Amino acid sequence: MSRIWLVRHGPTHAKGMVGWTDLPADLSDGAALARLNAHLPQVPVISSDLSRAVATADALHSRPRLPHDADWRELHFGAWEMQTFAEVEAASPDHIRAFWETPGEISPPGGESWNAICGRIDRAVQRLAPVPEVIVVAHFGAIVAAIQHAGGLTATQAFGHKIDNLSVTCLEFGAAPRVLSINHIP
């Protein structure tokens, strides 16, 4: 069994859909980072390879670092990247509504579907199986995909969860995966 502590990276303050665009995290809230550090166990840390996740992982002091893993990246929004929902809806209302309301095989132009990110996250979780406990600094979509897997949820049920920046979600994977906590803000 493997326990994974999922931390959502620090805020970017972007107003559009931020997937693979490499924006920095705002890590100026020292008190929030101190609470996060105090809450998390002293176990190895891995992160997505996007700078907002890397910088947040670097802020988790005195923990061993594992190599970055691109499979923990956010959902790839393709042509919708950095656009707001309203901007995309004005151009493609049926497409964007179907993407968010019936997550599965529908993908943004040049981007990836919900099923594709779930496949990436499942692979990333499997690679961590030999590690008894680890912190993963990742993104909203990656965390929700992991929750869906651990909780045996539908995509729609998984999307119903709020995942705040610098929040902690704790999951166990093994013979009987389970969700221990979601969106805990230390």
- At 79, which CATH number? 3.40.50.1240
* Cβ–Cβ under 8 Å, residues 38 and 49: no
Q: What is the pLDDT of residue 1?
A: 82
Per-residue pLDDT of the chain (186 residues; tens, 9 = 90+): 899 999 999 999 999 999 999 999 999 999 999 999 999 999 999 999 999 999 999 999 889 999 999 999 999 999 999 999 999 999 999 999 999 999 999 999 999 999 999 999 999 999 999 999 999 999 999 999 999 999 999 999 998 999 999 999 999 999 999 999 999 999
What's the gap between Cα 61 and its chain centre? 20
Is 169 in contact with 143 (CB distance < 8 Å)? yes
Contact 110, 20 (CB under 8 A): no
103 CB burial (10 A radius; 0-12, 13-18, 19+): buried
Which residue is it, tokens 């965390």? 143
Q: Quick one: tokens of 17?
A: 């859909």
The residue type of 90 is: A
Closest CA to 55 of 6, 8, 16: 8
Measure the CA–CA gap between 148 and 134, rounded to whole angstroms: 19
Residue 30 one-letter amino acid: G
Domain coverage including residue 156: 2-184
| Structural domains of the chain, count | 1
